[in-house]
Amino acid sequence: MTRIEDRGYAHPELLVSTGWVAEHLDDPGIRLVESNEDPLLYPSGHIPGAVEVDWTRDLNQAVVRDYLDRDGFQALARRIGITPQTTVVFYGDKNNWWATYALWVFRLFGHTAAKIMDGGRLKWSNEGRELTREVSAYPSTGYAAPERDDATDRVFRDGVLAHIAAKRALVDVRSPEEYSGARLHMPDYPNEGALRGGHIPGAKSVPWARAINPADGTFKTAEELRRIYLGEAGLAPTDDVVAYCRIGERSSHTWFVLKFLLGFERVRNYDGSWTEWGNLVGVPIEK
Amino acid sequence: MPGGPPKLESMRAMFSAMDRAERIQALIDVADGFRPVPEAIAARPYPGERRVPHCESEAFVFAVPRDDGTLKFHFAVENPQGISAMAAAVILDKTCSGAPLDLVESIDPDVMYDIFGRELSMGKNMGLTSLVNMVRAEAARHRR
């Protein structure tokens, strides 16, 4: 794999290599954050100094289907010992699927000093780098966060309806079977009860994992990504794009790719996604 | 729907009583005891029909008949990050190997929900439930 800075990304500074992370383990301005689907992974071994942010417990509200509010985010940020100036480097399982999700939530609160470790947990592990079970704790900070920004990188169902009416671009990052309506859930996952199968009208199908090199979990080069998203899907960097999946996690990965690796001007993640749209009364679908 | 091997039901009750942190630590300790299927039983590449469907950790199940009519279960987990699958494999081996086949066949497919906790992701639960179902199917196949 080529070096990150040689891959032609619009914002290469949003990605760091495993080697870079290894060189910054003791950097007090860096906080490593592991975010996984599997809650057993972090305690079974993580990069020294890393803290865990769990997508269910730490990023979502327990009662309302929504993300943390400002107080909740401040509490999280203070607990993991970061300030607004701390560079947070996210990594995790599933080719950084949950890491990009966490980064997306942090950016909702204006924490833009955030990066992804290319290749994620698996690449670090496969390189034989150190893992520890020692849980790091950091002094609490007085992190003061702004109110959550739900306009810049996030879109709700009414916004999606307006987006469709304006015939703007949508990317469905689920599996082709979910996109076509042949199945209501991703392969190897249970049915979550969406009433209808199909996709949001006008959406192009680009499964999220196409952005990844399967061999090591790193992101494909900008040229390879352009072939997929511009060449095959017909998107343009000037498009106003909405990405969606099932609950907004896989689409946060595509949001990251379009916004930071390809430099699209406006990309928003519809986290209501198919678990909302597939059950909504009065909205259209396509099969 | 209790009714599986008593050792498994005991383990289910034990894990159900734990809080999240205790359960995670206990499961990691269990997973540390995972040993893959001996080469004398099965060697790579493992046959596709032994692979657990829906399991992202690439788990395989092998059942070897014993003289007493029970089975010795062996497992392989090819994904080094498949900690949950490894823990489940150890639990199933410890509780189902040597157990009467009718009890193994009657394991509640939801047992992993109680052992791993409801907060385990849907994908993981589906894979672990498939692992249980494959053990049950092996018991059923050898009973006939």
Residue range A18-52, pLDDT digits in tens: 999 999 999 999 999 999 988 899 999 999 999 99
Q: Give the pLDDT mean for A257-268.
A: 98
Query: How high is the ipTM of this complex?
Result: 0.83
Output the CA torsion A99→A105→A106→A111 (10° steps): 130
Share of residues in chain A with pLDDT > 70 (%): 96
Q: What is the pLDDT of residues A143-176, one digit of tens each?
A: 999 999 999 999 999 999 999 999 999 999 998 9
Is the pLDDT at A237 greater than 60? The verdict is: yes
A157-277 shares the fold of A4-126: yes
- C-alpha radius of gyration, chain A, whole number: 18
Q: Domain-by-domain residue ranges, chain A?
A: 4-126, 157-277
* Residue in chain A lying closest to B124 (CA): A38
User: Annotated catalytic, A90?
Assistant: no
Residues B130, A118: Cα–Cα separation, whole Å: 31
Least confident of A193-202, A237-246, B74-83: A193-202
Q: What is the mean pLDDT of chain A?
A: 95
B66 CA: distance to closest CA in chain A (Å): 33
Question: Of B55, B116, B121, B124, which to mutate for an interface test with A (greatest number of A Cβ within 10 Å)?
Answer: B121
Instruction: Using pLDDT thresholds of 50, 70 and 90, give the confidence band for residue A195.
Output: confident
Question: Of A35, A41, A44, A174, which to mutate for an interface test with B (greatest number of B Cβ within 10 Å)?
Answer: A44
With contacts defined as CB-CB under 8 Å, which chain A residues touch B123? 37, 188-189
Half-sphere exposure at residue A13, Cβ-oriented, CA atoms within 13 angstroms: 4
- Cross-chain residue pair B125–A56, CB shorter than 8 Å: no
A4-126: CATH number = 3.40.250.10
Chain B interface includes A216 (CB < 8 A) = no
Is the pLDDT at A188 greater than 80? The verdict is: no
Instruction: Using pLDDT thresholds of 50, 70 and 90, give the confidence band for residue A193.
Output: low
Q: Give the pLDDT mean for A185-212.
A: 83
Residues A99-116 as b/e (b if ≥16 CB within 10 A, e otherwise) read bbbbbbbbbbbebebbbb
Where chain B has pLDDT below 50, the residues are: 1
- Cross-chain residue pair B83–A192, CB shorter than 8 Å: no
Closest CA to A256 of A174, A153, A160: A153
Residues A160, A278: Cα–Cα separation, whole Å: 13
The per-residue pLDDT for A213 is: 96
The per-residue pLDDT for A194 is: 79
Is the pLDDT at A266 greater than 60? The verdict is: yes
Structural domains in chain B? 6-33+48-143 (3.90.1010.10)
> What angle is formed at CA A61 by the lines to CA A55 and CA A65, rounded to 5 degrees?
100
The per-residue pLDDT for B56 is: 85
Instruction: Using pLDDT thresholds of 50, 70 and 90, give the confidence band for residue A184.
Output: low
Chain A interface includes B51 (CB < 8 A) = no
Residues A263, A238: Cα–Cα separation, whole Å: 9
Is the pLDDT at A189 greater than 70? The verdict is: no
Is the pLDDT at A185 greater than 70? The verdict is: no
B74 CA: distance to closest CA in chain A (Å): 22
- Cross-chain residue pair A189–B123, CB shorter than 8 Å: yes
Q: Which CATH number applies to A157-277: 3.40.50.300, 3.40.250.10, 3.40.50.720, 3.40.50.10490?
A: 3.40.250.10
Closest CA to A151 of A63, A230, A240, A77: A240
The per-residue pLDDT for B144 is: 76
* Residue in chain B lying closest to A37 (CA): B121
Residues A37, A131: Cα–Cα separation, whole Å: 18
Chain A interface includes B125 (CB < 8 A) = yes
Closest CA to A38 of A110, A121, A112: A121
DSSP class of residue A228?
I
With contacts defined as CB-CB under 8 Å, which chain B residues touch A41? 81, 83
Is the pLDDT at A83 greater than 80? The verdict is: yes
Encoded amino acid at A186, one letter: M
